[in-house]
Amino acid sequence: MQAVLIIQAVLLVAIAAAMWFLPLAVAPSIAFGVRIPPERRTDAAVLAATRGYRLGIGVSALICLALLFLIQWPPVLLSASVLIFLILFLVDFLVARSRVLRAKEAGHWFSGTPEGAAAATSPDSGQGAFPWSYLLPALILIVLTVIVGIIRFPALPDRIPAHFTLTGAVNRYTTKSWGSVLFPVWTQLFVTGLITVLSFVTWRSPRQLDPARPETSLQRSWQFRRRLIRLLLLLSAAVDLTLLLAGLLTWNVLTPGPATLAMLLAIPLLAAAVLVVVSFRMGQEGVRIPAQEPAATGLIARDDDRLWKAGLVYWNPKDPALIVPKRFGIGYTFNFGHWLAWAVLLALILAPVVITHLAHG
């Protein structure tokens, strides 16, 4: 139980640290999901909103850490502290956003400023081919998992382990079948397929560029997408490796124990940590990547706040893009005005049900 508390505390601190640094990772023309002229980034209202946001993040993290250690949570509710923190973060973000919006409207920040838009509409836009080679480690691990599972199947008992505690004890069994024995494979296929499809769609989606310096913005976007998608494909390999090791536990190849389970947790967490650190170093769409800054065109990005609900949800039925850069944060989000976004979400909801049915049906 103590180990679970420590893991939850580390996760909570990591999430809080990422949220604290997020305002530094977005473009100068965005403040808490609000489009602003870049020179307003140092406006007193924006700076005050940022200070208030960061203070709120720190206080929220301390409150949730206190709740985590002072309340005797049942094991099934141990993640409640992280959920509470995310709710507090959302409130904190919306308060900061409202402060910036009020200042923007009161000061007429976009009055008399020339607005424009720029985008690279070509699927390739000079960035080269999709990095399929980075998918190879994940595919090799999936094939290896299938081979080992098939070899081990005849020697397995009629009931096989389905879940372990952090001490390595089995606390749930399931009936042996091809579906249950190859459960790690079904999960590998789902995770790898999902990451690959979304990465490919992202790779091919149009780029939203800074109209003040479109060429520099395009170069940064190329570098950002190349690095991010390569890391995502390698992350899928790390998850597949974890699932292979989990299968070896289920198939009585590895001996369960705290060290083994710690390794299972460490592999994807370390891979995710690398992804987060590299992403923050690049900034959203590469805004922190060093590049030559040519003379500005004199245009600023158009005021498109109406398309972003609460500064977080993009809704634009007229935009054919399925995936767009996040307004606040690093990475990409769906255009929820596109019907395909809802189809993908439905598939994500149904996929675990299908995998569970394959394993236990």
Least confident of 12-26, 205-219, 235-249, 326-340: 205-219
The residue with tokens 């206190």 is 66
Instruction: Please indicate whether residue 174 or residue 62 has the higher confidence score (pLDDT).
Output: 62
The per-residue pLDDT for range 268-294, each reduced to its tens digit, is 989 999 999 999 999 999 989 988 777
The per-residue pLDDT for range 293-346, each reduced to its tens digit, is 777 777 788 888 999 999 999 999 999 889 999 999 899 999 999 999 999 999
The residue with tokens 């929220």 is 60
Rounding to the nearest 10 degrees, give the CA dihedral for residues 48, 49, 54, 59: 100
**Tell me, what DSSP letter sits at residue 123?**
S
Question: What average pLDDT score do residues 119-128 get?
Answer: 62
DSSP-assigned letters across all residues of 325-361: E-SSSSSEEEBTTSHHHHHHHHHHHHHHHHHHHHHH-
Least confident of 68-72, 122-126, 214-218: 122-126
pTM above 0.85, yes or no: yes
pLDDT given for residue 123 in this prediction? 55
Q: Which amino acid is at 360?
A: H
CB neighbour burial string for 104-120, b if at least 16 within 10 angstroms, e if fewer: beeeebbeeeeeeebeb
% of the chain beyond a pLDDT of 90: 53
DSSP-assigned letters across all residues of 203-262: HHSPEEE-TTSHHHHHHHHHHHHHHHHHHHHHHHHHHHHHHHHHHHHHTTSSPPSHHHHH
Can you tell me the distance from the alpha carbon of 274 to that of 279, in angstroms, rounded to the nearest whole number? 8
What are the beta bridge partners of residue 120?
Answer: 207
pLDDT given for residue 258 in this prediction? 75
Query: Under 8 Å CB-to-CB from 121, ≥6 apart: which residues?
Result: 206
Q: Which amino acid is at 169?
A: A
**Does residue 125 carry a pLDDT above 60?**
no
For 30, the enclosing helix (H) or strand (E) is strand 30-31
